[in-house]
């Protein structure tokens, strides 16, 4: 169980604080979660198998690793690394990416990971703008389609019916969330507005180095921390894989284990703030 009393007194001072401007607007953090094409040639075997897996008594609590945008060509390498390090994680996957990678979905499920919904085609669900710049009209039916088609693709590939969703770019509003809730999906944000939200966006898709990912993440490791990485990307994914050992080393120092159970209130309170 998580030690919330302990967590409450641990300062987390290195978080990026997002300005609370435009309180009536949908929440979009421009830097977060850009779609970067995965080029052939990525995934050429980054790093050795894990040498120092999680091994402690969990007295410090639990951390949840999350990976977005897959399944992709680098996802098997992520799964290898997680297996070696003893990490159960949560994957937020796009329905359109599942076709042809059903075996990866089945493998992730078999290895104890949880699969959540990251929409079908990775649009901004609040504006309807797709990664290619085209735009859909945002209606309840369109939103429902983006989420339901993804659930259907994941279930067809062997995953349990998803109970969690993460909106692309963290772009969400009450209209999006109401449709998601109708489908039984609970919001898990990729970042939080405040340090105490305890959601660490590694910004791995923004060209940062492995060391920067480590430096962003390790100071904030404590009970309840949610870490956002990407498995459905190219170099970003490889950099995150390479960061895992140092993160696990710190978790062992702090007696932290990994869990694929996402704590309650993983919303970053964005809906409370923006409505
Ligand atoms: Zn994404």
The percentage of the chain sitting over the pLDDT mark of 90, rounded to a whole number, equals 77
**CA pair distance 248, 245, nearest whole angstrom:** 5
Query: Which tokens belong to 131?
Result: 């990664």
CA of 4 to the centre of ligand 1 (A): 29
Quote the mean pLDDT of the chain. Answer: 86
**The pLDDT of residue 275:** 65
**The pLDDT of residue 16:** 36
CA of 248 to the centre of ligand 1 (A): 24
Q: Where are the domains of the chain?
A: 50-270
CA of 47 to the centre of ligand 1 (A): 24
- Among the ranges given (26-40, 163-177, 248-262), the one the predictor scored with the smallest mean pLDDT: 26-40
CA of 56 to the centre of ligand 1 (A): 32
Give the strand pairing for 61-68 and 90-93.
Answer: parallel
In the structure, ligand 1 is a single-atom ion and the residues with CB under 5 Å from it are 33, 68-69, 168
pTM over 0.85: no
**The pLDDT of residue 195:** 87
Look up the CATH number of domain 50-270.
3.20.20.370
- Among the ranges given (9-18, 54-63, 214-223, 229-238), the one the predictor scored with the smallest mean pLDDT: 9-18
| Rg of the chain in Å (alpha carbons) | 17
Strand partners, 126: none
CA of 5 to the centre of ligand 1 (A): 32
Q: How do residues 46-79 score in pLDDT, each as one tens digit?
A: 455 558 999 999 999 999 999 999 999 999 999 9
CA of 40 to the centre of ligand 1 (A): 19
**CA pair distance 168, 187, nearest whole angstrom:** 11
């Amino acid at each position: 169980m998580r030690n919330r009393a302990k967590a409450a007194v641990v300062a987390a001072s290195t978080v990026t604080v997002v300005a609370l401007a435009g309180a009536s607007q949908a929440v979009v953090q421009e830097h977060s979660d850009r779609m970067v094409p995965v080029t052939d040639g990525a995934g050429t075997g980054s790093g050795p198998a894990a040498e120092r897996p999680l091994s402690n008594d969990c007295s410090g609590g639990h951390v949840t690793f999350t990976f977005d945008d897959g399944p992709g060509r680098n996802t098997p390498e992520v799964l290898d690394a997680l297996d070696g390090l003893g990490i159960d994680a949560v994957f937020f996957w796009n329905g359109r990416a599942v076709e042809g990678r059903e075996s990866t979905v089945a493998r992730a499920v078999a290895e104890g990971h949880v699969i959540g919904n990251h929409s079908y085609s990775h649009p901004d669900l609040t504006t309807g703008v797709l990664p290619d710049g085209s735009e859909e009209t945002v209606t309840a039916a369109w939103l429902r389609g983006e989420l339901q088609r993804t659930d259907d693709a994941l279930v067809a590939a062997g995953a349990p019916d998803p109970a969690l969703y993460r909106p692309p770019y963290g772009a969400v509003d009450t209209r999006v969330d109401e449709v998601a809730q109708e489908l039984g999906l609970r919001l898990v944000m990729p970042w939080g507005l405040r340090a105490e939200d305890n959601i660490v966006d590694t910004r791995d898709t923004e060209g940062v180095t492995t060391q920067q990912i480590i430096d962003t993440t390790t100071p904030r490791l404590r009970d309840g921390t949610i870490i956002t990485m990407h498995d459905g990307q190219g170099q970003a994914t490889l950099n995150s894989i390479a960061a895992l050992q140092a993160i696990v080393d710190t978790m062992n120092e702090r007696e932290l284990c990994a869990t694929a159970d996402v704590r309650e209130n993983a919303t970053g309170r964005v809906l409370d703030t923006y409505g």
